[in-house]
Copies of this chain bind each other. A is one copy, B any other.
Amino acid sequence: MDVRTICLGILTRGPATGYEIKKLFEEDGYQHVVEASFGSIYPALNRLTEEGLVSVREEAQEKRPDRKVYSITASGRTVFLASLLKPLPEDRHRSPFAFAMLFSHLLPPERVAQMIDAYIAQCEGQLAQIAGHSESQTDGERFVLGMGQTIYGAMIAYLRAHRAEIEHQQPAAAE
């Protein structure tokens, strides 16, 4: 699932600038789904344009930087649909937090507690963002938002229920 495909997908929902494509996923409760940086979005849009999968309309605004509004073309739609019919790449989760917990016995208990607090706060933030826009969606959107709610909810419950088990280790005892 490369950035080109992601851009195509977002553009099926309507025209957007590169900037808006990034913002859409940062703000709309989809951070846990996909994400991409400007450094990959802008080159991707250029290449998609060259290949005729998207079209650009340049809006030279007064007193504002130019906007390049991208729209998906018919062949872009075809290519995107085809990519959804091919086998999907597997999910990828990278969790520096979980990795750090593997070494909790090497850390002062206060640091472990603080890491868990921060992680719970992070999950609660995600939950809040998901809850914050529960109107006007397709079935697919509601479904994916529900997935996020489920994961973060379950994670918070697990951390609250089990944190004592690693906070109360005596530092040097293990290993």
List the interface of chain A (C-beta within 8 A of B): 1, 6, 9, 12-13, 30-35, 80-81, 84-85, 88-107, 111, 115, 118, 122, 138-144, 146-147, 150-151, 153-155, 157-158, 162, 165-166, 169, 174-175
Contacts and interface: CB of A to CB of B under 8 A. Distances in A.
B147 A105 contact: no
A24 B31 CA distance: 28
Total identical chains: 2
What 4 pairs across the A-B complex have the smallest Cβ distances?
A154-B154, A1-B96, A150-B158, A88-B96
B94 A92 contact: yes
A164 to B, nearest CB: 10
Given A93-B92, A100-B84, A139 B166 contact: yes
**Which secondary structure dominates where chain A touches chain B?**
helix
A94 B1 contact: yes
14 contacts: A32-B93, A81-B106, A84-B106, A85-B111, A88-B97, A91-B93, A101-B140, A102-B140, A139-B166, A140-B166, A140-B174, A143-B165, A146-B158, A151-B155
